Amino acid sequence: MTTSQRVHLITGGFPPGAPAGHDMNYARLRLLEKLGTVNGRDVTVANDYQDIERWLPKTDFLITYVAGPFPSGDGNTAMQEWLAAGGKWFALHGTSGGKAVKGEREGVAVKQMVKMEHHDTLGCFFLNHPPISQFQVAVADAHPITRGLPDSFTVQDELYMIELQDPDATTPLFTTKLEKDPSPLGFGFVYDEDTSVQEDGETRVLGYARTVGEGEIVYIGLGHCHVGRDGSPSPVDPSIDPDGKMPAEFHNVWQSDAFNRLLENGIEWGLGAG
């Protein structure tokens, strides 16, 4: 790997320039602020994975916070080769998503995620998330990402339900308990089988580490934020609305001590300080 210590940050939605239900400006700024505290590192920024193969050769550390964009074709192959050669990828939140198709169930319009080649590269596939709620996160394994975190902490966030693509080669770092997806029909995404629940019937993996050749991926499903449409403040304690109604504005998890420590740990790990 190169010794340039360059970080490539991808934050954006789909279509290009759209927020796709997230406050991309906020997430981008917060991540850049944290990267800005690290001296001697160059940072490049993109909205999606377009021409990612041009940026990876001199990049040591990749951070992604996206809702829609995904690597494909030559870009996906370049990411696999970059990881195998020693690259580190800190993948956040909607990175596990990608393309969805529209359909209908029980007379209700629905969307369903499509599993694609980049999910194998990342190591997980997003199924759905229930409406924003408060839930407990358990720290499941020792890793530089978990340094300084308590054994468990509470967040207000979207609980991401992800299917691990290679469980035997994956080390869960964060988990939570949820026996059944409480999402009302028409909210979020539908799926044919809940493949995110573990053998005990209630544990869900929210974040993991996965080695790829000489490189490593850390994926964290936490981190939702979106912009308020009417200027109302984010609720102190959001709860599951029976109709899946979202709060008008939401940045709660980004304001929590645990998530901020997690982000800082991730950047230290990615730059070789963890």
Q: Which pTM value belongs to this model? A: 0.93
When pLDDT is averaged across residues 238-263 and rounded to a whole number, the result is 81
Whether 231 shows a pLDDT value over 50: the answer reads no
What residue segments make up the domains of the chain, in order of their start? 6-270
1.10.1060.10, 3.40.50.880, 3.90.1150.10, 3.40.50.300: CATH of 6-270: 3.40.50.880
Query: Residue 2: what pLDDT?
Result: 41
What are the tens digits of pLDDT across the range 61-108?
999 999 999 999 999 999 999 999 999 999 999 999 999 999 999 899
Query: Residue 236: what pLDDT?
Result: 46
SS3 call for 272: coil
**Cis omega (within 30 of 0) for bond into 167:** no
Q: What are phi and psi of 92, to 5 degrees?
A: -115, 145
pLDDT level of residue 36 (50, 70, 90 thresholds): confident
Nearest to 160 by CA among 129, 192, 132: 129
Return the half-sphere exposure (C-beta side, CA atoms, 13 A cut-off) of residue 170: 21
Whether 12 shows a pLDDT value over 70: the answer reads yes
Of 20-24, 122-126, 195-199, 240-244, the range with the lowest mean pLDDT is 240-244
DSSP letters spanning 60-125: SEEEEEEES----THHHHHHHHHHHTT-EEEEEGGGG---EEEEEETTEEEEEE---HHHHHHTEE
pLDDT level of residue 5 (50, 70, 90 thresholds): confident
Whether 155 shows a pLDDT value over 80: the answer reads yes
